[in-house]
Amino acid sequence: MRITTVGLDADDTLWHNESIFRLTQDRFRALMAEVAAPEVLDAKLAEVERRNLSLYGYGVKGFTLSMIETAMEVTGNQAPSPIVAEILAAGRDMLAHPVEALPGVEAALADLAADYRLVLITKGDLLHQEQKLAASGLGDLFAAVEIASEKDAATYERVFARHGDGAARAAMCGNSLRSDVIPALEAGCYAAHVPYHLTWAHELAEPPVGHAKFAELASISELPAWVRGLG
């Protein structure tokens, strides 16, 4: 059963994302330095983000709202107002941040696009993901783009049924074991993990070592050879 379709995650697979969140969180810590200890702030932000995830979903707008809510909670609703304006500005800066493909991405995708249908499969804010893809210059390499509110096995079944020849004839590649690898394997895809140097706590999971359809790759540059080797 030949592989015809390759799915690719976007954030931290094709371009930086988590590092931008971390830099913004550093900025948030600095803004709040006089009113909250960094470890108290980090713990509260993680709690607020987790609480809001089912309402806000993934992405910068929800993160910005959660930073403001955190600032309010750690100060008993007494956060100095200029801080709120600074948090809003930090969120806008994230949305307007330049997008640059990670090393090796363009070459690997161009190589694969010659022989396979490439499908971008990501979550986050719809508009922002579309804008990042456009800014990356990688858009023309993809046959389809799917922005989903959650990436579970049903998502991969649906996407590869729509844009390919089903999950069994697809390979998925991404930096998140939890979102890109494990549910894709559950759906019956092959799946390769290409780690990013940072992982959001929410995305952590155990690697499915020993699974027949799983591979751990050191870099996206190894992806074309691995996919071709699947037959």
List residues near a second copy by CB under 8 A.
Answer: 52, 55-57, 61-62, 64-65, 68-69, 72, 75, 77-82, 84-85, 88, 91-92, 95-96, 125-128, 130, 147-149
Give the residue with the Cβ less far from a second copy, 55 or 114.
Answer: 55
Give the residue with the Cβ less far from a second copy, 107 or 154.
Answer: 154
Give the residue with the Cβ less far from a second copy, 45 or 65.
Answer: 65
Q: How far is the CB of 69 from a second copy (least distance, A)?
A: 5
- Going across the sheet that includes 190-193, the strands are 144-147, 117-122, 5-8, 170-174, 190-193, 214-216
What six digits make up the tokens of 149?
């509110």
Give the residue with the Cβ less far from a second copy, 106 or 165.
Answer: 165
Q: How far is the CB of 83 from a second copy (least distance, A)?
A: 9
Give the residue with the Cβ less far from a second copy, 127 or 204.
Answer: 127
- C-alpha torsion sign, points 58, 59, 61, 62: positive
Q: How far is the CB of 220 from a second copy (least distance, A)?
A: 26
Do residues 142 and 173 touch, judged by C-beta distance below 8 A?
no
Give residue 170's Cα distance to chain centre. 19
Distance CA 105, CA 102 (A): 6
Give the residue with the Cβ less far from a second copy, 123 or 193.
Answer: 123
Q: How far is the CB of 201 from a second copy (least distance, A)?
A: 20
Q: How far is the CB of 117 from a second copy (least distance, A)?
A: 15
Contacts of 89 (CB under 8 A, 6+ apart): none
Q: How far is the CB of 24 from a second copy (least distance, A)?
A: 14
Give the residue with the Cβ less far from a second copy, 7 or 59.
Answer: 59
Contacts of 18 (CB under 8 A, 6+ apart): 11, 12, 196, 198, 199, 200
Burial string for 91-130 (b: 16+ CB within 10 Å, else e) reads beebeebebebbeebbebbebbbeebbbbbbbbbbeebbe
Q: How far is the CB of 231 from a second copy (least distance, A)?
A: 30
Residue 39 burial class via C-beta count within 10 angstroms: exposed 0-12, middle 13-18, buried 19 and up: exposed
